[in-house]
Amino acid sequence: MTTNRKRSPLSARSPILTMSRGPLLGWISLTFGGTIILQSLSYLHIVPLLFFIGLIMLHASLTWHADSLTQKHSWVYLDIQSILINGAALLMPDGSPILIAALNPIIISQSYVIYPNKRKFAIALIKNVLLFSITTSYLSDPLHWALYFVWFIPMCVVMLTITNLAVGQLQSQYRTQSFLTELEIAHQRVEELSIANERQRMARDLHDTLAQGLAGIVMQLEAIDAHLQANRPLRAQEIVHQAMGRARRALTEARDVIDNLRIHSDSNVDFAQRVAEEIERFRQEEQLDVQLELEMPASMSKLLSEHALHIIRESLTNIAKHAEASRVWVRVHQIRSMLIIEIRDNGIGFNTATIGKSLGHYGLVGMQERVRIIGGSFEIESGSEGTLIRIQVPLTEGE
């Protein structure tokens, strides 16, 4: 009549006791009426009837409040209910078969719900059966006592089966609710991470567009001022045109970021051509000797192309702003299934331990984030002279 599954007291007790009290009161009412009818077939005295009504009403009241009463005093609740049922049976001896066989199985089923522990349930079951046996042996001869058990045992089996199914269904609902709660928590966590990643992406893209563009324009304006002071208006005018071009390009890239578009998203534009254009722009604007070596793979994903171009652009911008270099070497090539990007200069170098620690210098940090996104490795070597940035990224197909 019992199973080997584990049940949680909190998940299998209160809801079952609360949800079942309506049907149980209906069952108690039917049993009450049947007992009186069966008793009235022989005799029915008013005083025992009044006491019987009082005991049944008390039994029904305790059943209604079973949830709260069993939280701390489950043994007391079960013992009192058993005493009430068997006491009522003694008041209605001829109607007792219906009363005992109908209500005692309910107490046993409630014991099954209240006590997930098999030992405690077994103790409650034994106590109930002993009290049932004492009552029936007092009310009838051995033959009728045996007939009581013939009716009592099937009722217990039916009630325990129904209770077991109800507990199993409730546990399934609790597990489902628990999974849904965990899923909701995970979903919220993903949203939080998505927001954080989106903020990082926006900071990275804004740095690569507005910040870089404005920094370049500032440098060009400073150069214009220097040429004007040196009475070189033609060179100053040339740099003005370059600054205007840079400003337009920065504005276009900023609009693309706002619209969440990929810069140069036309798939017909080859990555090698875009790198060459970037190198040529840098060479003309900074008047530096730039050596470019391209050994392009057969195909690259758009995501890899975009991040690789941003990395090269950021490296060149850093060289122009900080390196004081006269020569730059850029090499992009493939080794097996890896794309290798190397950017080297002959500038003054810097202390690599300060990367990410200086406020406002987000270029190298942004490069490291981009390399991490595309699953690559980032190496930087710098000393008193020159800096080398080496990036290895696995080549992937698709977007």
Mean pLDDT of 151-166: 76
DSSP type of residue 338? E
Q: Identify the residue with better confidence: 210 or 73.
A: 73
Residue 288, domain extent: 266-399
Element (H, E) at 289: strand 289-294
Residues 294 and 150 in one domain: no
Residues 32 and 178 in one domain: yes
pLDDT score recorded for residue 105: 84
Residues 60 and 164 in one domain: yes
Residues 35 and 160 in one domain: yes
Query: Per the domain annotation, does 57 fall within a domain?
Result: yes
Per-residue pLDDT reduced to its tens digit, 329-343: 999 999 988 999 999
Which pTM value belongs to this model?
0.41
Query: Per the domain annotation, does 240 fall within a domain?
Result: no
Residues 145 and 292 in one domain: no
Ranges 131-135, 194-198, 375-379, most confident: 375-379
Query: Per the domain annotation, does 192 fall within a domain?
Result: no
Q: Which of 160, 184, 208 is the last residue of a domain?
A: 184
Query: Per the domain annotation, does 311 fall within a domain?
Result: yes
Residues 179 and 270 in one domain: no
Element (H, E) at 290: strand 289-294
Residues 145 and 18 in one domain: yes
Residues 165 and 283 in one domain: no
Q: Identify the three-state secondary structure at position 293.
A: strand
Q: Identify the residue with better confidence: 2 or 49.
A: 49
Query: Per the domain annotation, does 294 fall within a domain?
Result: yes
Ranges 5-9, 35-39, 92-96, most confident: 35-39
CB burial of 329-360 (b: ≥16 within 10 Å; e: otherwise) equals bbebeeeeeebebbbbbbbebbeeeebeeeee
Q: Which of 150, 184, 218 is the last residue of a domain?
A: 184
- The total number of structural domains in the chain stands at 2
Q: Identify the residue with better confidence: 304 or 379.
A: 379
Residues 171 and 275 in one domain: no
Residues 174 and 274 in one domain: no
Per-residue pLDDT reduced to its tens digit, 44-60: 889 988 998 999 899 88
Q: Which of 184, 217, 233 is the last residue of a domain?
A: 184
Query: Per the domain annotation, does 258 fall within a domain?
Result: no
CATH code of the domain covering residue 352: 3.30.565.10
Query: Per the domain annotation, does 197 fall within a domain?
Result: no
Query: Per the domain annotation, does 84 fall within a domain?
Result: yes
pLDDT score recorded for residue 332: 93
d(CA 349, CA 233) in angstroms, rounded, equals 33
d(CA 349, CA 388) in angstroms, rounded, equals 9
Strand order in the sheet with 338-345: 289-294, 327-335, 338-345, 387-394, 377-382
Residues 271 and 150 in one domain: no
Positive or negative CA dihedral for 20, 22, 23, 27?
positive
Answer yes or no: is pLDDT of 11 > 50. no
Residues 169 and 41 in one domain: yes
